[in-house]
């Protein structure tokens, strides 16, 4: 059996920027074990697989995402990369793409070279008490607020504090948690970084699912629903965001890197 793999840099307009995703289109599902092995072999933050839905008018494709260590329930950059492959390589011509996933229905559209994703809004809740190890794991950087939905969301004093934070990934992994750090931006509305050693990713370059939590937080804090965001990883990423109440839209650009063939004997 042979599979085609596309590697796409998402949330960027520059090669070697954004977050690289391995995209493997399928006609039917292969085993979970094999998908996990392929994700480990690719050794990117996510490898994404999708298959045609067939026999339903509710959505167009089923989609699943794997880190090198585990399957996850939502991934923005690999969804963006999948949509780019469908639109630009596989000849998909409908105005929207409807993906069905573990987090429900995701609707994708495009305007020019910007692809927009309709994602769930995960509004984080304030935490009065949080593990003391969180401060240690984040290098004792001063906290402004600590919130949580799926992940810890920690607001820091400013963009420089986010940029310079040096986490203890071993301790964070031992806690069994993922963490977002964020602050008001200098040139954009907010900046962030995302750490997930528990699923094999010390720092994710650009994280759509984190913005499902960040957008409601900053929309309420800044009193605006249209937001520009930047993720301050080494590769960096740019996102256009909108808060719609129960949903958010996360938009960005993609750059194609390579096409390959996987030979499974």
Q: What's the average model confidence in pLDDT over 113-117?
A: 97
| 198-202: Cβ within 8 A, 24+ apart | 198/172, 198/173, 199/67, 199/69, 199/70, 199/72, 200/67, 200/68, 200/69, 200/70, 201/45, 201/67, 201/68, 202/167, 202/169
46 classed as catalytic: yes
Which whole number is the average pLDDT over 61-84?
96
Out of 33, 46, 160, 246, which one is annotated catalytic?
46
Instruction: Convert the pLDDT of each residue in 30-43 to its tens digit.
Output: 999 999 999 999 99
242 phi and psi, to 5 degrees? -135, 140
Q: Are strands 104-111 and 114-120 parallel, antiparallel or unpaired?
A: antiparallel
Q: Which of 104, 182, 197, 173 is nearest to 148 (CA)?
A: 182
Asked if domains 2-119+252-263 and 125-243 share a fold, the reply is yes
In CATH terms, the superfamily for domain 125-243 is Diaminopimelate Epimerase; Chain A, domain 1 (3.10.310.10)
For residue 56, the model assigns a pLDDT of 78
All structural domains of the chain with their residue ranges: 2-119+252-263, 125-243
Confidence of residue 194 (pLDDT cuts 50, 70, 90): very high
Q: In sequence order, which residues have a C-beta less than 8 Å from that of residue 160 and are 6 or more positions away? A: none
What is d(CA 11, CA 123) in angstroms, rounded to the nearest whole number?
Answer: 22
Instruction: Provide, rounded to the nearest whole percent, the portion of the chain with pLDDT above 70.
Output: 100
How far is 205 from 4, CA to CA, in rounded Å? 24
Fold of 2-119+252-263: Diaminopimelate Epimerase; Chain A, domain 1 (3.10.310)
Residue 13, pLDDT > 90, answer yes
pLDDT tens digits, one per residue of 201-212: 999 999 999 999
């Amino acid at each position: 059996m042979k599979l085609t793999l596309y590697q796409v840099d998402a949330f960027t307009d520059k090669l070697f920027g954004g977050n690289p995703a391995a995209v493997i289109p399928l006609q039917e599902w292969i085993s979970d074990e094999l998908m996990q092995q392929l994700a480990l072999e690719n050794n990117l933050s996510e490898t994404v697989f999708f298959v045609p839905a067939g026999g339903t008018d509710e959505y167009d494709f089923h989609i699943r995402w794997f880190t090198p260590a585990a399957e996850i329930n939502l991934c923005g950059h690999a969804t963006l990369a999948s949509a780019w492959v469908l639109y630009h390589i596989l000849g998909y011509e409908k105005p929207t793409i409807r993906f069905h996933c573990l987090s429900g229905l995701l609707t994708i559209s495009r305007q020019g070279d910007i692809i927009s994703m309709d994602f769930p809004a995960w509004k984080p809740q304030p935490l009065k008490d949080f593990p003391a190890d969180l401060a240690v794991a984040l290098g004792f950087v001063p906290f402004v607020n600590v919130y949580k939905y799926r992940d810890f969301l920690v607001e820091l004093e400013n963009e420089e504090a986010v940029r310079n934070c040096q986490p203890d990934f071993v301790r964070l992994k031992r806690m069994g948690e993922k963490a977002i750090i964020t602050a008001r931006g200098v040139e954009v509305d907010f900046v962030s970084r995302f750490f997930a050693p528990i699923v094999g990713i010390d720092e994710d370059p650009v994280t759509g699912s984190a913005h499902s939590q960040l957008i409601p937080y900053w929309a309420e804090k800044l009193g605006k629903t249209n937001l520009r965001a930047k993720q301050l990883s080494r590769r960096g990423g740019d996102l256009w965001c909108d808060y719609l109440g129960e949903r958010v839209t996360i938009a960005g650009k993609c750059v194609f890197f390579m096409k390959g063939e996987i030979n499974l004997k």
